[in-house]
Structure 1
């Protein structure tokens, strides 16, 4: 036994080390590999601890019972040190936590697992707990114990598979990992904490103790009213941001903004531009910059690239102060195989499937969670709740949902395992997503969840009790693909592809849709939004202006990736900031002004947002004028809200006498014209208004003759 203690291999160190009763006597036993002598100090008096064997650093001795002690060690030079003994402290985790963890129903695992700075039995320190059910031994290592796995062997908590230890004197900012011996006795690579609240700055990858208690939120007004900002009838216009490349400090080694700097610069900009929400690409800790956060390792740790956890809270609170919601990209679909991560965490395929046909993602060389294991599903559900509860984020956009829903996603026959019924649906992933949405909406009222789901899986944004997945919204990938394909074509040929701009209405109300122009459309050789547009320079800008007008006038919430609001010329590069310098060019400033005005109009006119997800809010006026590439439609809000008419001309031909139907007689104010000089156009239009006459046309009771500038979108509101 002494040899096992010396070597750090003992199965149950808490049964031997620390203060133990032996009959009527009390003995203190400890291991210290740097000491030549040890003593227990009680009430100022030292009680020597004898070396158990001459060649082992195990010390034991009799002491007065029932009294707290400290350990006093001396090395060969005579240097003395005094320290608290981690093995004199009892367990921290309670029986109910242990029961819920074992059952896989603990909704807030982060309150139990991970590293928690606390006072325990009258002493300040940190409690560490980690789930590793198949491990033979788990040891805590860090700078506080010279990364020596023999010093802090952890206590196994019964059948839960959880190991814990309270280490006195360890506090905020301490660096640590877990040293795990697998069931076959093989020592694993040092592992970061799956529920760690902080991490070292990449490429270093140890966990860091972060005390996340006691922030002192001041955003109660927002939190009490945020449901109105996230609802189906709300104006929702999202600015998608990769925080590391939005702005950088060229004069400071090209570093990205800190959370505190972003709380001022980014939030002020988003508010000025009229967006209602920001969506941050994943900020849970990730090792590789080039993954943009979509291959996370520390799901409970805001990336230290921009600062510690409290400073991320500063960013969220600043957004709320400006009336802006915060959505985080969340990645429960896969995780990287980095040695310090979740892969074979306790020496077995714990978080992932053992069978690569289920557990390995061929597209991304990553590992897939075993959603059918209750503890793994609970880990993910709890993580979603963690961001909503601890950081007051207002929504989660779930990445790559399609890859989770289908067992044969991106796989050839024979490369996947059917479900129990022989089908391709991943029942376990579906159950986890439903549970996540049910718990998230139940525990945090007013939030939103959004699915990036690229197939026609039914009921993505329908309630769970109605058979749906329970998301609040779904990205409309079909709309995005069709409309961008149309816009990329030379206007000469657009008449042959007119249906690409109209087909989306056939399913526009089957889900609660967000219209996304995301980062995926401006990387990997796809070019920027401006570069997609055909024609000469003027036509490129005009096409883009017309498209944005079409998008903001179309049913569905809006999302635009950073840089596209001012027509960044080149595709996005995550290693540098956006090309802000192009705003010296009036054409780029014009696009920026247009997006600002579109957001303002979208928010101000109920008809443009109240029934984004309701077919009663939309009616075609002209859907079949493919020859002229002209579209027109009506947007409606609630009873009494002014009606809105949108007209698009997707050819470079000015139409000076176009006859358009209108739902009402009277004056219609031209509230937006993408050909306005302010936006970089030529100021062609209708002198601010048109007059609807009592002449039926295009199925409408009234009509007017209008000027349609080339490559333009016009928006009219009934006076």
Structure 2
């Protein structure tokens, strides 16, 4: 027996998809849309093979983004393509799909590997440095960066902490290296993204039929505080880390032997703007680690991920403010030394003028 099915033409289907997108933005007033797996809309296999491209899929996403930009240009649209295709976020006038931003698979794969790898000597900081500066179309905010998403923590995969030490996700090593990854997410160029429960050290794997264990938020209140501090610094709420909102990133220090790196973030430059991030990817303490600084004066430690207030097992290793000394170091005209704990991150800046 046959079934009477409506005959949806191509144009009707395209209009239906567009109208649903606009409904969420206009009627339900969401701030934006994230489009899932758009690589499978624009390509038969979801790959970068141009011989398998679907031109109508590409034009569909372009059309929807053009409609959104015309009617609600302040809304954000994010594409999950994961192929590193800069045309996903290029404007339609330049042949792109017109998404505001896209998930960056390179960042999550490289940074997650660097913090999950058991042996310090096996971490490749040159790869980390490369992905820290990898942006699309010259715009730092055309990529979404993260260490956990529903894809990375399910389907046979686990949370970062669980990957670091299976069965002991709340131990010292998982906490230290997971917070190292979090600090990079909030200081590297891009739109930082957290996954539910990450800030309270959710362990195991993610399943949508398992609720969050909210007692972890109380057990790890200090780590929740750490994420809150990183968010405040990333948003420049105190007025002395404007560089984290800027377009400029320079990895000026890479020490692949000691597994440390430092990078400079700038918006307009100057005190209160230029921000230095120093990261230690090894289980090694440095009493006075020297890096180059772009100008003289006093440099203040705004964030030290080893603070015992974040976790009672952290070492609370002293990282003091430093007066810059004249002399070229890391191709910078000044330099200074900071105490640096194992698997820790410092965020450093000057007082605004």
Q: Report the TM-score, using the length of structure 1 for normalisation.
A: 0.45
Deviation at 1:405, TM superposition (A): 1.4
Q: Which segment drifts farther, 677-686 or 508-517?
A: 508-517
Which has the higher relative contact order, 1 or 2, with Cα contacts under 8 A spaced 6 or more apart?
2
SS in 1 for 2:202: coil
SS in 2 for 1:695: strand
SS in 2 for 1:514: strand
2:155 matched residue in structure 1: 524
Deviation at 1:636, TM superposition (A): 0.4
After superposition, where does 1:470-489 map in structure 2 within 5 Å? 470-489=98-117
User: Does 1:632 find its partner at 2:268?
Assistant: no
Contact (CA 8 Å) 2:292, 2:333: kept in 1 or not?
Answer: yes
Q: 1:544 to 1:505 in 2, by over 3 A?
A: closer
User: Does 1:501 find its partner at 2:128?
Assistant: yes
After superposition, where does 1:242-391 map in structure 2 within 5 Å? 345-346=5-6, 350=8, 373-391=10-28
1:651 matched residue in structure 2: 282
Deviation at 1:706, TM superposition (A): 1.4
Contact (CA 8 Å) 1:634, 1:644: kept in 2 or not?
Answer: yes
2:85 matched residue in structure 1: 457
After superposition, where does 1:531-680 map in structure 2 within 5 Å? 531-534=162-165, 537-585=171-219, 588-604=220-236, 605-609=241-245, 611=246, 614=247, 617-623=248-254, 625-640=255-270, 641-680=272-311
Distance 1:550 1:491 in 2: 20
SS in 2 for 1:560: coil
SS in 2 for 1:375: helix
Q: Looking at CA atoms only, which structure, 1 or 2, has the larger radius of gyration?
A: 1
1:684 matched residue in structure 2: 317
User: Does 1:703 find its partner at 2:340?
Assistant: no
Deviation at 1:576, TM superposition (A): 2.7
1:100 matched residue in structure 2: none
Deviation at 1:554, TM superposition (A): 0.9
SS in 1 for 2:129: helix
After superposition, where does 1:206-245 map in structure 2 within 5 Å? none
Contact (CA 8 Å) 2:243, 2:269: kept in 1 or not?
Answer: no
Structure 2 residue ranges without an equivalent (≥5)? none
2:145 matched residue in structure 1: 515
Per-residue deviation, residues 371-407 of structure 1 (Å, max 9, x unmatched): xx11111111111111111111110000001111112
2:55 matched residue in structure 1: 427
Deviation at 1:695, TM superposition (A): 2.1
Deviation at 1:545, TM superposition (A): 1.3
1:440 matched residue in structure 2: 68
1:50 matched residue in structure 2: none
User: Does 1:398 find its partner at 2:35?
Assistant: yes
Aligned pair count reads: 337
SS in 2 for 1:454: coil
Distance 1:696 1:534 in 2: 41
Contact (CA 8 Å) 2:116, 2:160: kept in 1 or not?
Answer: no
Distance 1:471 1:454 in 2: 13
Q: 1:717 to 1:406 in 2, by over 3 A?
A: same
More helix by share: 2
Distance 1:582 1:466 in 2: 47
More strand by share: 1
1:69 matched residue in structure 2: none
Distance 1:663 1:685 in 2: 23
Contact (CA 8 Å) 1:491, 1:652: kept in 2 or not?
Answer: no
Contact (CA 8 Å) 1:676, 1:682: kept in 2 or not?
Answer: yes
Contact (CA 8 Å) 2:84, 2:104: kept in 1 or not?
Answer: no
SS in 1 for 2:151: helix
Q: 1:652 to 1:382 in 2, by over 3 A?
A: same
> CA RMSD, aligned part only?
2.1
Distance 2:191 2:325 in 1: 33
Deviation at 1:685, TM superposition (A): 2.6
Q: 1:547 to 1:630 in 2, by over 3 A?
A: same
Deviation at 1:491, TM superposition (A): 3.7
Distance 2:203 2:84 in 1: 33
Deviation at 1:534, TM superposition (A): 4.7
Contact (CA 8 Å) 1:489, 1:534: kept in 2 or not?
Answer: no
SS in 1 for 2:299: strand
Contact (CA 8 Å) 2:115, 2:177: kept in 1 or not?
Answer: yes
Contact (CA 8 Å) 1:671, 1:715: kept in 2 or not?
Answer: yes
Distance 1:601 1:644 in 2: 10
SS in 1 for 2:283: coil
Q: Report the TM-score, using the length of structure 2 for normalisation.
A: 0.90
Deviation at 1:483, TM superposition (A): 1.1
Contact (CA 8 Å) 2:299, 2:348: kept in 1 or not?
Answer: yes
Contact (CA 8 Å) 2:120, 2:281: kept in 1 or not?
Answer: no
Distance 1:677 1:660 in 2: 24
